[in-house]
Homo-oligomer: A and B are copies of this chain.
């Protein structure tokens, strides 16, 4: 069998790693009880880790042994690095193939995005990831050791695990209540948020920001991708922080009992987490219904492309907004920050967004039919799985095995991207050689 599309290779690779992870997690040595784990639970955990989601059907610290936690951590690192690398390389290849067709403009853009060649991209991703993870791990370990009096081996282990989990937007924690115990510790919260944001902005953006700060190339314009990502990621961050903080301000089960400073810290933390880290410092099950739906929207949009965040990505969301704006204004072409947006990119954004809506809707309908949970909880769960977020109102473990497999499918689809999935299924590109007559149905 020949690989006709890079998407097929990606899916096959992820499936292979999932299989290995599942088998390892099924070993008795992987649990504290020394017993073998059921296949669905092991598969769910492996996929949740590899797809950097963070939804759990068993309690990570008490259920898994050190070996089990190590497998989870390894899967997170492979999954995060893998998608970051693959997406960056794909962006490079697409830009190159376009470069051959469109000559100048696409090549200029490849340069702007700073993607030189495949080897540079791969090493760049690995170097960036390990550096950020190491810095965050050291700082976290110091905090756990000095402030919480953890013995140093344990403090270092906690630092490394949560640094990797945060940078990869994975949301796995070694505390049964996630980070609720640290809701009012600005040190821990800020470090986790920093790692989440750096990993979630995406490699091309971080690379461009780093290069510019180092070399101060003021003359060359920022790439469109970086400008859109930073503006949208930042805008959604501010929106999320304000909305979550206000919506939960008086909720006696979340922000209510805290003082103003603590409210602002925990509100900020939960404004950042839906994009798409999945740690929680508040009890998500106690959120107001409006906060849950707002989280659904933010989780669905997700973070930056070619990073560790999930969702349909902030660029996809922003481009669709620009398309709508152009349509409302009656402009024949779509302009984004003084650049023309090709029709193919518009179509791609539309496809990613609508296939995402479709996957979430089908998953939600299936889970609603299988369980007696209400829409609030089920939609939150499916969006969290699709967006590889990992926040939950706590129903994950209560869903029957068949329903957990639906979540597994959503995590897989959400992580590898509707586009990659779909492209992998299509045997190959099929350009038509002849032109059909145009016809315009009435719309709306």
Segment at the interface with B among A9-17, A58-66, A179-187, A223-231: A223-231
Residues 314-355 of chain A, each 1 if its beta carbon lies under 8 Å from chain B, else 0: 011001100110111111111110111111111111111111
- Other CB < 8 Å A-B pairs besides A313-B443, A335-B436, 16 of them? A109-B439, A113-B442, A288-B369, A305-B441, A305-B442, A324-B355, A328-B425, A332-B432, A339-B439, A342-B440, A343-B343, A344-B440, A348-B444, A350-B350, A417-B444, A419-B443
In the bound complex, how far is the Cα of B224 from the Cα of A136, in angstroms?
59
Alpha-carbon gap, A94 to B440, bound state (A): 10
Q: Which of A397-444 contact B (CB under 8 A)?
A: 417-420, 422-423, 425-426, 428-432, 435-444
User: Interface on chain A toward B: helix, strand, loop, or mixed SS?
Assistant: helix
Known: A335-B432, A431-B331, A435-B340. A225 touches B441 (CB 8 A): yes
Cβ B351 vs Cβ A293 within 8 A = no
| CB <8 Å contact, A375 and B292 | yes
Q: Which of A1-34 contact B (CB under 8 A)?
A: none
Q: Answer whether residue A135 sits at the interface, using C-beta atoms and an 8 A cutoff.
A: no
B440 in contact with A352 (CB, 8 Å): no
By a CB distance below 8 angstroms, the chain B residues around A328 are 351, 422-423, 425-426
Bound-complex Cα distance A326 to B330 (A): 25
Interface string of A361-393 (1 = CB under 8 A from B): 100110011000111101100000000000000
Question: Would you call A374 and B444 a contact (CB within 8 A)?
Answer: no
Residues in B neighbouring A440, C-beta threshold 8 A: 94-95, 98, 106, 109, 224, 341-342, 344-345
For the complex, is A204 an interface residue (Cβ under 8 Å from B)? yes
Whether A297 sits at the interface, judged by CB under 8 Å, is yes
Let me know if A139 is at the binding interface, CB within 8 A: no
Q: Is the CB of A365 within 8 A of B436?
A: no
Contact among B327, B349, B365 with A290 in the assembled complex (CB-CB below 8 Å): B365
Q: Contact partner of A348 among B331, B340, B443, CB < 8 A? A: B443
Q: Sort A-B residue pairs by CB-CB distance and give the 5 closest, nearest first.
A: A330-B429, A290-B368, A352-B444, A328-B422, A225-B441
Q: When chains A and B are docked, how far (Å) is the Cα of A423 from the Cα of B368?
A: 38
Query: Which partner residue on chain B sits nearest A371 by CB separation?
Result: B289
Closest B residue, CB atoms, query A102: B438
